[in-house]
Amino acid sequence: MPPVITLLLGVHAHQPVGNFPEVIEDAHQRCYKPFLHTLHAYPDFRFAAHFSGWLLDWLRERHPADMELLADMVRRGQVELFSSGDTEPVLAAIPHRDRVGQLQVLNDKLAAWTGVRPQGAWLTERVWESAVVPALAETGIRYVTVDDYHFFCTGKTADELDGHFSTEEDGRRLDLFPISEALRYRLPFSPAHEVIAYLENLAEQGRGAAIYFDDIEKFGIWPETYDWVYHRGWLKALIEGVLASPKIRPATYADFHARHATRGIVYLPTTSYSEMNEWTLPMPAARHYADFVAAEKAAGRGDLHRPFLRGGIWRNFLSRYPEANWMHKRMQGLSARLAGIPNPPSDLVDELYRAQANDAYWHGLFGGLYLPHLRRAVWNNIVALEAALDALQARPALAGLDADLDGKTETFAHNDALQLVLRDDGLGALHELTSYQLRHNFGDTLRRYREHYHDKIGSGESRHDGEGIASAHDIVRFKHPVSVEDIVPDPLPRAVFLDELNGATITDYAADALQLRRAGIAKTYALGGDRLTVSWHLSGLAGQHFITRLNLAMPSCDGFLGRYVLADGSIPGGFGAPLQLAAADRLTLDDGVLGGKIALLASRPAEISAAPLKTVSQSEAGFEKIMQAVELCWAWEIPGDDCTLHLHLDITPQP
């Protein structure tokens, strides 16, 4: 008998909560549908699949016939469905009670749909912290997949990683399958015959299993893959090659797990896949890390020293990006409030879980945090949940605490319509401006950061050798023209009501709740219904130049749906275009996507200017410039040594 290796192939399908429907539809047509239809024709090719619960609901509602193919493959034993948190949270980043709840939701959903309760779970972004073990075990999960890199960090070698291992936390057991990075980089980019030859060579070496579990989007959505995988027949060639080989046997994880004993106990460090460990580092640490790894590879020591080159951990994103940390800590606070309500309404639990979806909290090869519509989806649910909790359990109209653990006190002021959050950081600006009616945070902006991948912008080179197609990791492309000026980092947060005097940003405000003072200026915030009023009493500053700068997150970028409206009803342009007004006291920002508007009224005519704030990020399709906010400036020459300026913001739904 020839040596035989078991191929444990798994695919992970996910779309972010709040992603555009047309994007999800395109993903289905170019990836999920052809993949399922192709595999359905080969019942002997067994594999595993994970569809995040939110995406599964979307697909079952809109494409029931296609998804029935998947259910049919489950019932005939061809496919094993993996669970996870329902909205695809990073389990380590949410409270234990929510880990359990999220897992139970998807476990129950899969069991009700297919009649089979899941034994395995997909670990979002393979973020491993041992604290997640009890929740997984408590919900009936027996095993998860992580990267082989996790095991290398414990001293294991590649030759040992052809089966599953066991770990425990507080006496709760969980088994672990190590995903092969070598396979991740071959599928689907290497020609099918090379993949078959690679697997057969592993069999001849006596390996028991080849373990693969990775994004299904690589099979049709990543650049060039749709034509390669389906039109040029890569997927069929792989399936038929595996089935024809006497040395390869495809199986589900459940089958393998039932037939093979654990390889022994292992305790993994806190880590994720190796690319993530670079992405989570800020500059210049990310550059130093990448240069060090490259130097080790060039010296032929890459594989030898790789386990000791750790980089950062996923939670670093929360310290690296204050915007992500603010969302995260706001979510955590609401989770604690919800946990204090006996038998909370299910719609509130759903809103919390949607606010825990991982995508908007971090950034790597994909847009993530840089994509405003993903952050907006998190904030939509945070705001809706907070309003519902306030209706059930009132909180003080004014309160101060260090909500994001940055050492500075945030003052929360709210009424039934609006909430503002003022941080005692010397800027005297708002870091959150929320409308409960619109379920929107106008302070949900993102400053420009220096990113390690910006170094690639000048090269314009893509790396790929041999047959097959290039991975998105190796491609340098540009969706939009990018200049050096576009990647200059911001020294300060993109907050609302940042003040300047004679061209210098004021950074020395002393705060007393909603009252701020510094030499010559007393600034006050006041809420009344759906109106926010900001006042400045200016003393001894006659003839000096005063500016307040509002960075406002407007969902519409340009055109008819996102437009400026003047006092006479005229429309000078959309949010994506610059605006200059010589002397005006009124301006309305009308946003059709938001379904609301901000009407601004000043007590004294000002010079008004506006421009789109754009950041440069990378995605699998290349470098792109993304509009994060409208940067709106109101400028006055101070008319006297004792004067007061008022700026009113009326935030209301469109009629």
Alpha helical stretches, state H, 315-462: 316-320, 322-339, 346-355, 372-392
Alpha-carbon distance of 492 to 41, in angstroms, equals: 56
Selection from 447, 408, 415 nearest residue 434 by Cα? 415
Q: What is the pLDDT of residues 221-240, one digit of tens each?
A: 988 999 999 999 999 999 99
The predicted pLDDT at position 18 comes to 92
Q: What is the mean pLDDT of residues 41-67?
A: 97
Q: Could you report the per-residue pLDDT of 549-604, keeping only the tens digit for each?
A: 999 999 998 667 899 999 999 999 999 999 999 999 999 999 999 999 999 999 99
- Asked whether residue 461 carries a pLDDT value surpassing 90, the answer given is no
Return the ∠ at Cα 624 (arms to 623 and 625), rounded to 5°: 140
Identify the CA nearest to 90 among candidates 59, 135, 48.
135
Residue 200 has pLDDT above 70, yes or no: yes
Residues 503, 549 contacting (CB under 8 angstroms) = no
Catalytic site residues? 125, 215
**Cα(647)–Cα(548) distance, rounded to whole angstroms?**
10
Q: Please tell me the pTM assigned to this model.
A: 0.94
Which pLDDT score, from 0 to 100, does residue 540 have? 97
**C-alpha dihedral, 26 to 179 to 99 to 369, nearest 10°:** -50
Q: Helix or strand or coil: residue 261?
A: coil
Q: What is the pLDDT of residue 309?
A: 84
Rounded Cα–Cα distance for residues 457 and 481 (Å): 10
Retrieve residue 22's tokens.
């047309």
User: 339 by DSSP, 3-state: which?
Assistant: helix
For residues 270 and 129, give the distance between their C-alpha atoms in angstroms, rounded to a whole number: 5
| CA atoms of 294 and 306, how far apart (whole Å) | 11
Contacts of 20 (CB under 8 A, 6+ apart): 373
Using CA atoms, how far residue 576 sits from 482, 556, 625, in Å, is 16, 9, 12
370, 318 contact by CB (below 8 A): no
pLDDT category of residue 489 using cuts at 50, 70 and 90:
very high
Write out pLDDT tens, residues 362-407: 998 888 999 999 999 999 999 999 999 999 999 999 999 999 999 9
Residue 277 has pLDDT above 70, yes or no: yes
